[in-house]
Copies of this chain bind each other. A is one copy, B any other.
Amino acid sequence: MKDLNSPSLLADQVVAALRSVIGQKAAVLHEPSFSGNEWLYLKECLDSTFVSSVGKFVDRFEADLVAYTGARYVVAVVNGTAALHIALKLAGVKAEDEVLIPALTFIATANAVTYCGATPHFVDSEERTLGVDAVKLRDYLEQHTEQRAGQCINRTTGRVIRAFVPMHTFGHPVDLDGVMAVAHDFNLALVEDAAESLGSYYQGRHTGTFGLMGTLSFNGNKTITTGGGGAILTDDEELARHAKHVTTTAKLPHAWEYRHDEIGYNYRMPNINAALGCAQLEQLPTMLAAKRELFQRYQAAFATVSGIRLMVEPAQCQSNNWLQTLVLEHEQANQRDALLKVTNDSGIMTRPAWILMHELAPFQECPRMDLAGAQSLVQRLINIPSSSSLLQVVS
């Protein structure tokens, strides 16, 4: 008779639960689905010869994202990292500044900070949202910072903490009320890293539209994809104008003269990628419904597996279910790697959350608060296959 607590039994149960939902085939973590107007728009794009940085699909994709997210302005760029880089730069982040970001995030958040010459300052995350713990952060800032001339100064390093970049982990909205209050009370520019949360809402409002700016990603592993792509969201007309200017080499409009008035970037989303994006965005509601159904089936399948639960969208939130996530109970945390191995070996792609940023070589010396929440979570999170096409493929 098997020991109920043996790793192999839990692994068997997890594989069985996954198989009961996704069937017997191999499954990747997330793959895109192209079943709409992708063809038509790509053909229009080639026929027009406008495949590059100018073309109607870039403008249309931006307008479609405005309509979908409710942001007043959207600027489409080459990827989510570029979007974050420019949002931070326009938020005033300069060399020698610090920027608060979660330790539990993809490395793009931290890299974008360094592109501005600034230093990431790592913040803890909470169990309820997988995002930054606003309550704990407030305590930390009260103890370790002071306000000088309207700026938040890190008393330990003497540097200005200029901005705060919460990230909506796996599509689950962060505690935006808490986060906004911290940003307000400590004079921090709020930039939402909404790379993973297109289609996720907090109290009925789209993520990425609460801060000074928000950023999206349309990488191939995201809910919708443009091949590579990203976007900056903002309600501020001047920030939007400046974002478009600086992502298009800061060239002043003129029929033939090449005058650039500041150092700019070649970050504009090409028209061919935007064409894909327009077609994908049309299918987003269908994809979100399919992902929600997948969530419900997983939830039913894991209801009887003890020691592990499926991550559920936070209260007052509607998550896009980008990456479905299993959360191990604390006592089972030591089984994470065995579960990863067994599932991957059996053709079901799973992965843990990212290694925490402060454990990576380039960021080991960066300032950080106590990260007990993130450290616990990272040992217990496992992403499982989440493609919107998964159920269609099975049935």
B257:A352 contact, CB within 8 angstroms = yes
A49 touches B (CB below 8 Å): yes
Contact check: which of B39, B111, B220, B268 meets A270 at CB < 8 Å? B220
A107 touches B (CB below 8 Å): yes
Contact check: which of B78, B360, B361 meets A78 at CB < 8 Å? B78
Within 8 A of B (CB), among A122-177: none
Complex interface: stretch among A18-26, A79-87, A281-289, A317-325: A79-87
Interface centre among A52, A108, A111, A117 (most CB of B within 10 A): A52
State A81–B78 Cα separation when bound (angstroms). Answer: 12
A31-B49 contact given A114-B263, A260-B360, A276-B272, CB 8 Å threshold: yes
A108:B273 contact, CB within 8 angstroms = no
Number of copies: 2
A259 touches B (CB below 8 Å): yes
A355:B227 contact, CB within 8 angstroms = no
A256:B51 contact, CB within 8 angstroms = no
Contact check: which of B54, B78, B107, B220 meets A220 at CB < 8 Å? B54
Contact check: which of B32, B228, B249, B344 meets A268 at CB < 8 Å? B228
B220:A263 contact, CB within 8 angstroms = no
Other 8 A-B pairs with CB < 8 A, given A32-B51, A262-B361:
A38-B46, A107-B249, A228-B270, A256-B344, A257-B355, A258-B354, A258-B355, A273-B273
A255:B221 contact, CB within 8 angstroms = no
A228:B362 contact, CB within 8 angstroms = no
Interface centre among A251, A260, A362 (most CB of B within 10 A): A260
Give the interface of A toward B (CB within 8 A).
Answer: 31-34, 38-39, 42-43, 46, 49-54, 78-82, 106-108, 111, 114, 117, 219-221, 225, 227-228, 249, 251, 255-266, 268-273, 276, 340, 344, 350-352, 354-355, 360-362
Interface centre among A111, A261, A263, A273 (most CB of B within 10 A): A263
Contact check: which of B114, B221, B251, B270 meets A227 at CB < 8 Å? B270
A264-B344 contact given A273-B270, A354-B258, CB 8 Å threshold: no
Contact check: which of B107, B260, B340, B350 meets A260 at CB < 8 Å? B107
B50:A220 contact, CB within 8 angstroms = yes
A352:B49 contact, CB within 8 angstroms = no
Q: Chain B nearest CB: distance from A154 CB in Å?
A: 21
B52:A263 contact, CB within 8 angstroms = no
A266:B80 contact, CB within 8 angstroms = yes
B262:A78 contact, CB within 8 angstroms = no
State A222–B174 Cα separation when bound (angstroms). Answer: 44
A355:B31 contact, CB within 8 angstroms = no
Contact check: which of B81, B227, B361 meets A52 at CB < 8 Å? B227
